[in-house]
Amino acid sequence: MSDRVRAVADAVLYEGFLLFPYRRNALKNQFPWQFGVLMPQGYADSSEPASFHAEMVLIGAGGCIEGAFRFLQPADGPIEREIPFTIELRDGHTEFPFAIDELCGAIVADVAIEGDVARLTLEARNHSSTRAEANRAEALRTAFVSAHAILTARGAVFASLLDPPEAAKAAAASCVNERVFPVLAGEQRENKQIAEAMLVSPIILYDFPVIAKQSRGHTFDATEIDELLMLSVASLGDEEKTQARAAHPYVRELVERSEALDADTLAMLHGELTGGAPEPGDETITIGNTQVRRGSRVRVHPKGRADLWDDLVDGMTGHVCAVHTDFEGKRYIGVVFDGDPAGDLHEWYGRSFFYGADEIEALA
């Protein structure tokens, strides 16, 4: 398992473990772990079942898959658990039972092969038990929390379910996933539709997820921005920080990291320009044979037709106030329209209407 895959899997493992303000007595931390919870047998609430079901496609019907089923055991800690297993693609049906302390479960794999395409069905099942009248807090003691799997193919490659290659499109379209979302992981090939690694995630992700290079450690709360969380933690009172430190060693490290936050680290967390320009918006893009940059005259032809506004501004002229590149490498041109009575105000505080290069006509 590559470091890149493990880093993302670790982030998934602790997602929702504790949320800001990171005190165990905070209301939001009384109901932890909303993702990837496989409850024990006998738990009465059917909205949190005891298994997940994943289906995915491989190209190449030989070889094997080396897997790791990972979860947190919500004992005092919690405790990280990892169950290794190997699936031979020619075996058809395989089961891998396991038992740890009071926990027991099984990984169940089924492989169906048609030509050079293999369809893998993977289930993780919690066979532990609890009382039918157990509340959620009690049932969690024998639950598998943040349950996910990391799979590495040997002698085959996984096909993307989001953008499958032609040979795998029919099989990928028929895949059904329940409570997990398999995505390609690890280093991207030139062909981004295949990979040796697959992350069977309890959280919806894109193919090839990565940890932002600006991140310096766990924050356990990916619904927030690292910069905001670090500033928020730094603003906690002394007693609040004491309670947060006592919650878990990982949280203590987070508090100490926020207290040591310097200007350079904060600036790095704030983000970076992706287009190579020294100042935000100062990029250049070629449209037709014309270089378009801040101040260039343009005419707009929206293609999205997302709402009435696109129809209203079609054919209108204006000037470019910024050219930006997003993190996926796509360029956007910010336009302030001629005749807009609020145009000066928009430009003063940086508001503009953004369009792709294929929606912009460069004017002399």
pTM for the structure as a whole:
0.78
Give residue 1's pLDDT: 66
* Cα 270 to the center of its chain, rounded Å: 19
Give residue 361's pLDDT: 94
Task: Answer yes or no: are the C-beta atoms of 74 and 164 closer than 8 Å.
Answer: no
Q: How far is Cα 194 from Cα 58, in angstroms, rounded to an integer? A: 9
Q: Starting at the edge strand that comes first in sequence, how are the strands of the sheet with 79-88 ordered? A: 79-88, 64-73, 145-154, 197-201, 181-185
Running along the chain, 364 residues long, what does each successive block of 10 average in pLDDT? 88 88 85 85 92 96 92 86 94 93 95 93 97 89 95 96 95 96 92 95 93 80 78 90 91 89 78 74 91 94 83 92 86 92 84 91 90
Alpha-carbon radius of gyration of the chain: 25
Per-domain residue ranges for the chain?
Answer: 33-211, 285-362
Q: How far is Cα 144 from Cα 38, in angstroms, rounded to an integer? A: 5
Give residue 223's pLDDT: 67
Closest CA to 16 of 31, 38, 27: 31
What single letter denotes the amino acid at residue 188? Q
Give residue 25's pLDDT: 86
Q: How many residues does the chain have?
A: 364
Whether domain 285-362 has CATH 2.30.30: yes
DSSP state of 174: T
Give residue 165's pLDDT: 95
Three-state DSSP at 340 gives coil
Give residue 96's pLDDT: 97
Q: How far is Cα 316 from Cα 343, in angstroms, rounded to an integer? A: 13
Task: Answer yes or no: are the C-beta atoms of 252 and 245 closer than 8 Å.
Answer: yes
